């Protein structure tokens, strides 16, 4: 667990930004404008926080050229302060340094091929013929099924589960509780009950993917489930069998995507969304929170369903009227016709 | 990890289907019509894929008698091609062969009674007085609380957690991250905060049940929570304390059922559904995706709530009108009365 | 695994209730009025169950003074029978007695400071500089990251994961599969893809908190995510980075709260609710099930969104009309204007 400090000049160099003010200042961490203290670097990315700039106790602030005149302390000048802040977080992250090697308590199959720079945590279980790339870190308690491939620089936090045959690209982050490759929900009805359809497909995860805690990506029925490159998925998200997600798409928490649906590239799916099975979404589609997507979307744009939040008393009346809506509109239609 | 191959004649015999064409063909796997290659068996269950039949590269296809004349390759003829495909998946599944016995790294209470043909994976923890039936397989990292009973042929994948006193029937599949028997959400309000109500009931799971990754079935407050036979539950589903689910019901991902609600038999609950507490649903009820079920349903049939997906711009206007709906309909009603 | 029995007199003393009837009766457990047998104590809290009082086979019942005349068996008289029942469940809970000490198979960093009365289960992994208070119980397979602090009397069930730097108050219960301190969902868009924003904040959990199975509380971006005292959270709930939840608030299953949102004290959030980011909810707000909260709420009260459940056929008509709502109301408005 280490976090180092930097001079402002060093930060300017690392972030490739212009430094205005005392470049010898020591910076020990990052903070918001309102909560920053001496020795901390802050940033102003959203104009609504401009009023906090004047009073900040930060030692330095990442600002746009336009905001520079308003900055009362030292500054790092960026055309994109939010991105510069994102890059600065890399410099200040505190994380346990994983030690290369395999923990004594890990259980590793003899046929597994683990790069010497990889770190396999306590109580991990690694199956037959697994291949783990350079600098991969696998947290304690994770279970990696047979024939899994994990590309270089991957980070699996504690208690992740990968079923057999899952393939993970490079620089992928999987948070705790993630389950990849569980059986898709496939059954054929019979008189005696549900006949399980064994899920024979794999899961293929691209490069630079991050998947949040307790999210699930099911294996395909026959063909694989596919998550593209640079896809980011939040916590408690469900991707069913044979879903395909295009490059750069972002999916917020508690969203569920049903089987065989294809999501385009650079889509942004808000939280709590449901997307039914066997449909396609174009590239650059945005879905607002809690929407149910019931059909394919062929055009980029923003899509929604639901009703606005109201006080429950008012909502009850509107909801009751919703149930009568067809009857009222028919009545209106007849009345207009009769009186025109 | 093994998957064997079969002659078409062997498959016909195993699946009890008529073989038309070269019965000596070697079949090494299953694939969809569009992606199949030589040596693979495919199937045509949904008429919308009929056009793919003519061009398939599969060596053989499971078809209905009506489709047989259109099949350009060898065929297995089935009155229910989808069910025959489901049965065929059993023959081609690749799964690690679990070895009977208890892994060295498993921690097993002395009073546990584990069948000799059962397989207990690495780093499992098995509590006092647990009884585990013949041919049960428990994946690595799973934790089985005191007094749990697991019937024969059960398959618990890695990192499953069963709290004390949970009872599981035979031939049950639990996917990774499943938690069964956690405390129901029961508290009594007091001036000082919430007084926890200890959850003293059990969970009873029937036979031939499958529960998807990261789903939760809470223990009962006093009486048990009960999941019937042949119930299938997808990923990230929540069943609260004292829920009862009838035989053969299917529940899709991210659905939540609140406390003490009873679901009938052979219901199909789509994904993202919410069902409030203390109500009953009849047998053969279907609930569409993202519906909130707010009252008991006494008749079989299909039920829904929500609004259709629209472009966000159009949706905003409709949503704003929803809030005014009661006022507008009252205005309409008065106007019609005044002008009739 | 023990559960003792009590004389009715002992129970009256422990629960500080008046005993009416044979105080020497032996009580071995708790049950509902309808399912109770001889030797069991029941309770009548909800008037709708009054009819079950007359026929109960319970040996004794906790009743209000008003119900006492209708009680056919011995009674414990309480002004708040539900609370008395909640307290009685504490006396009858069956739970494995955790043995103080560290299991042989646990992996504990040398720098961890673990109270001698704490119990660390099999296969737990405890990181550097972790501090664990008196009488804490940590279930098997749990992973505790570096620099975590867990206050006295905490109960972590099996397979819980705490990331580095998480702080937990006293008397906190975390159920299996809970993940606290995973990275918040923070990324800056770039031409090349998403630039990860390292999440440098912590998570601070108050006292007397309970969090249900497979729920997630993300770490803050810079400032901490904060869960107040006496907060109760059900299963599969998502709290994003920098969420703040006030004291005594209750959150039901499958609810998701987006980043930086502040929830007041003593709120009750039903199941399947979504709350967007960067808003505030006042104290004593109630949100009904499946509501999407899209803006701040400054007044106590109950809030809702959604539409009522209908038969799907009727719902389809109403839903189609919803899409046309703005056009119809404009037409109505014009018609009224033209004809007035």
State the nearest Cα–Cα gap between A8 and chain B, in angstroms: 45
Residue B80 forms contact with C (CB below 8 Å): no
**Cross-chain residue pair A213–C164, CB shorter than 8 Å:** no
**Cross-chain residue pair C252–B258, CB shorter than 8 Å:** yes
Q: Domain segments of chain A: what residues?
A: 6-92, 312-340
Q: Is A70 a catalytic residue?
A: no
What mean pLDDT is predicted for residues C321-331?
92
Q: Tell me, what's the pLDDT at A1?
A: 47
pLDDT at C2 over 60: no
Q: Tell me, what's the pLDDT at B339?
A: 84
**Cross-chain residue pair B322–A331, CB shorter than 8 Å:** no
What mean pLDDT is predicted for residues B292-299?
98
Residue A298 forms contact with B (CB below 8 Å): no
The minimal CB distance from B292 to the residues C31, C93, C309 is found for C309
pLDDT in tens, A216-239: 999 999 999 999 999 999 999 999
**Cross-chain residue pair A198–B326, CB shorter than 8 Å:** no
CB A58 within 8 A of CB A31: yes
pLDDT in tens, B194-203: 999 999 999 9
Q: Which CATH class is domain C101-303?
A: mainly beta
ipTM of the complex: 0.96
pLDDT at B332 over 70: yes
- Chain B residue numbers with beta carbons less than 8 Å from the beta carbon of A223 are 31-32, 35
Q: Does domain B6-92 have CATH number 3.30.930.10?
A: no
CB A129 within 8 A of CB A109: yes
CB C276 within 8 A of CB C258: yes
Rounded CA separation A223/A135 (Å): 30
Residue B32 forms contact with C (CB below 8 Å): no
Which residue in the list A208, A241, A278, A286 is annotated as catalytic? A241
State the nearest Cα–Cα gap between B133 and chain C, in angstroms: 22
CA proximity to C271, closest of C294, C290, C248, C245: C290
State the nearest Cα–Cα gap between A135 and chain B, in angstroms: 24
What mean pLDDT is predicted for residues C94-100?
76
CA proximity to B297, closest of C310, C319, C316: C310
**Cross-chain residue pair C29–B223, CB shorter than 8 Å:** no
The minimal CB distance from A185 to the residues B35, B214, B234 is found for B234
**Cross-chain residue pair C291–A308, CB shorter than 8 Å:** no
Rounded CA separation B304/C308 (Å): 8
Around Cβ A72, how many Cβ atoms within 10 Å? 11
Rounded CA separation B248/B267 (Å): 7
Binned at pLDDT 50, 70 and 90, residue A256 comes out as very high
- Give kind and range of the element (H or E) at residue C90: helix C81-92
Pairs from C326-335 (Cβ < 8 Å, separation ≥ 24): C326/B314, C326/B317, C326/B318, C326/B320, C326/B321, C328/A329, C328/A332, C329/B321, C329/B324, C329/B328, C331/A332, C331/A336, C332/A332, C332/B328, C332/B331, C332/B332, C335/A336, C335/A339
Binned at pLDDT 50, 70 and 90, residue A3 comes out as low
pLDDT at A96 over 70: no
Q: Tell me, what's the pLDDT at A236?
A: 98
> What is the β-pairing status of strands A74-77 and A18-20?
antiparallel
pLDDT at C148 over 70: yes
pLDDT in tens, B110-161: 999 999 999 999 999 999 999 999 999 999 999 999 999 999 999 999 999 9
The minimal CB distance from B306 to the residues A200, A306, A331 is found for A306
- Chain A residue numbers with beta carbons less than 8 Å from the beta carbon of B252 are 185, 258
Q: What angle do CA C34, C39, B148 make, to 5 degrees?
A: 80
- Chain B residue numbers with beta carbons less than 8 Å from the beta carbon of A188 are 80, 82-83, 85-86
- Chain C residue numbers with beta carbons less than 8 Å from the beta carbon of A322 are 307-308, 318, 322
Residue C2 forms contact with B (CB below 8 Å): no
State the nearest Cα–Cα gap between B197 and chain A, in angstroms: 27
Binned at pLDDT 50, 70 and 90, residue A98 comes out as confident
pLDDT in tens, B213-233: 999 999 999 999 999 999 999
pLDDT at C131 over 50: yes
**Cross-chain residue pair C252–B276, CB shorter than 8 Å:** no
Q: Tell me, what's the pLDDT at C48?
A: 87
Pairs from B148-151 (Cβ < 8 Å, separation ≥ 24): B151/B207
What mean pLDDT is predicted for residues C290-305?
98
Rounded CA separation C287/C271 (Å): 9
Query: Of the ranges B205-209, C102-106, C324-328, which one carries the lowest mean pLDDT score?
Result: C324-328
The minimal CB distance from A214 to the residues C179, C200, C325 is found for C179
> Which one of C31, C98, C161, C234 makes the best mutation probe of the B interface by having the most chain B beta carbons within 10 Å?
C234
> Which one of B90, B254, B327 makes the best mutation probe of the A interface by having the most chain A beta carbons within 10 Å?
B254
High-pLDDT (> 70) share of chain C, %: 99
Q: Given a contact as 3+ CB pairs under 8 Å, which chains touch B?
A: A, C
**Cross-chain residue pair A93–C198, CB shorter than 8 Å:** yes
State the nearest Cα–Cα gap between B264 and chain C, in angstroms: 17
Q: Tell me, what's the pLDDT at B99?
A: 87
CB A114 within 8 A of CB A126: yes
What mean pLDDT is predicted for residues A27-48?
95
Q: Tell me, what's the pLDDT at A336?
A: 87
Q: Given a contact as 3+ CB pairs under 8 Å, which chains touch C?
A: A, B
**Cross-chain residue pair A304–B315, CB shorter than 8 Å:** yes
Residue C99 forms contact with B (CB below 8 Å): no
pLDDT in tens, A133-191: 999 999 999 999 999 999 999 999 999 999 999 999 999 999 999 999 999 999 999 99
The minimal CB distance from C175 to the residues B183, B317, B332 is found for B183
Rounded CA separation A285/B103 (Å): 49
Binned at pLDDT 50, 70 and 90, residue B95 comes out as low
Question: How many beta-carbon contacts under 8 Å exist across A and B?
Answer: 238
**Cross-chain residue pair A308–B323, CB shorter than 8 Å:** yes
What mean pLDDT is predicted for residues B29-34?
95
Residue C93 forms contact with B (CB below 8 Å): yes
pLDDT in tens, A280-316: 999 999 999 999 999 999 999 999 999 999 999 999 9
> Which one of B213, B228, B333 makes the best mutation probe of the A interface by having the most chain A beta carbons within 10 Å?
B213
Residue A289 forms contact with C (CB below 8 Å): yes
CB C59 within 8 A of CB C25: yes
**Cross-chain residue pair C223–A35, CB shorter than 8 Å:** yes
Q: Given a contact as 3+ CB pairs under 8 Å, which chains touch A?
A: B, C
What mean pLDDT is predicted for residues C86-105?
89
Question: How many beta-carbon contacts under 8 Å exist across B and C?
Answer: 238
pLDDT at A204 over 50: yes
Residue B274 forms contact with A (CB below 8 Å): no
CA proximity to C271, closest of C314, C231, C237, C313: C237
Question: Rounded to an integer, what is the distance from CA A53 to the centroid of its chain?
Answer: 30
Which of residues 226 through 245 in chain B touch C, CB cutoff 8 A? 236, 238, 240
CB B221 within 8 A of CB B239: no
The minimal CB distance from C96 to the residues B146, B186, B236 is found for B146
Residue A296 forms contact with B (CB below 8 Å): no
Residue C37 forms contact with B (CB below 8 Å): no
Mean pLDDT score across all residues of chain A:
96
**Cross-chain residue pair C210–B216, CB shorter than 8 Å:** no
CA proximity to A242, closest of A265, A228, A222, A215: A222
DSSP code for B69: G
pLDDT at C1 over 60: no
Rounded CA separation A152/A136 (Å): 6
Q: Tell me, what's the pLDDT at B4?
A: 83
Which of residues 182 through 201 in chain C touch B, CB cutoff 8 A? none
Binned at pLDDT 50, 70 and 90, residue B264 comes out as very high
Active site residues of B: 241
Which of residues 6 through 25 in chain B touch C, CB cutoff 8 A? none
Residue count (chain B): 340
State the nearest Cα–Cα gap between A317 and chain B, in angstroms: 6
Residue C274 forms contact with A (CB below 8 Å): yes
**Cross-chain residue pair A312–C304, CB shorter than 8 Å:** yes
Residue B320 token pair: 């704003």
């Amino acid at each position: 667990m280490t976090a180092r400090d930097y001079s402002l000049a060093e930060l300017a160099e690392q972030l490739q930004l212009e430094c205005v003010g005392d470049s010898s200042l020591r910076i020990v961490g990052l903070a918001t404008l309102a909560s920053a203290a001496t020795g901390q670097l802050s940033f102003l990315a959203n104009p609504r926080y401009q009023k906090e700039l004047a009073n900040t106790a930060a030692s330095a602030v990442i600002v746009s050229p336009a905001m520079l005149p308003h900055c009362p302390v030292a500054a790092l000048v960026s055309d994109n302060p939010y991105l510069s802040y994102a890059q600065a977080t890399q410099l200040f992250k505190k994380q346990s340094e994983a030690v290369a090697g395999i923990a004594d308590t890990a259980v590793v199959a003899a046929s597994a091929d683990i790069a010497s720079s990889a770190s396999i945590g306590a109580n991990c279980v690694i199956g037959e013929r697994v291949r783990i790339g350079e600098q991969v870190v696998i947290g304690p308690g994770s279970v990696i099924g047979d024939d899994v491939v994990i590309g270089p620089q991957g980070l699996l936090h504690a208690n992740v589960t990968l079923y057999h045959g899952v393939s993970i690209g490079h620089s992928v982050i999987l948070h705790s509780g993630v389950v990849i490759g569980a059986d898709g929900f496939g059954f054929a009805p019979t008189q005696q009950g549900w006949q399980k359809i064994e899920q024979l497909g794999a899961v293929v995860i691209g490069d630079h993917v991050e998947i949040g805690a307790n999210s699930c990506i099911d294996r395909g029925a026959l063909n694989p489930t596919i998550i593209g490159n640079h896809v980011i998925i939040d916590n408690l998200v469900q991707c069913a069998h044979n879903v395909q997600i295009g490059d750069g798409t972002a999916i917020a928490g508690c969203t569920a995507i049903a089987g065989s649906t294809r999501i385009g590239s650079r889509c942004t799916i808000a939280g709590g969304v449901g997307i039914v099975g066997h449909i396609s979404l174009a590239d650059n589609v945005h879905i607002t929170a809690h929407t149910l997507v019931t059909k394919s979307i062929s055009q980029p744009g923003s899509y929604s369903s639901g009703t606005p939040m109201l006080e429950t008393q008012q909502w009850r009346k509107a909801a009751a009227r919703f149930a009568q809506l067809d009857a009222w509109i028919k009545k209106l239609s007849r009345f207009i016709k009769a009186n025109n």
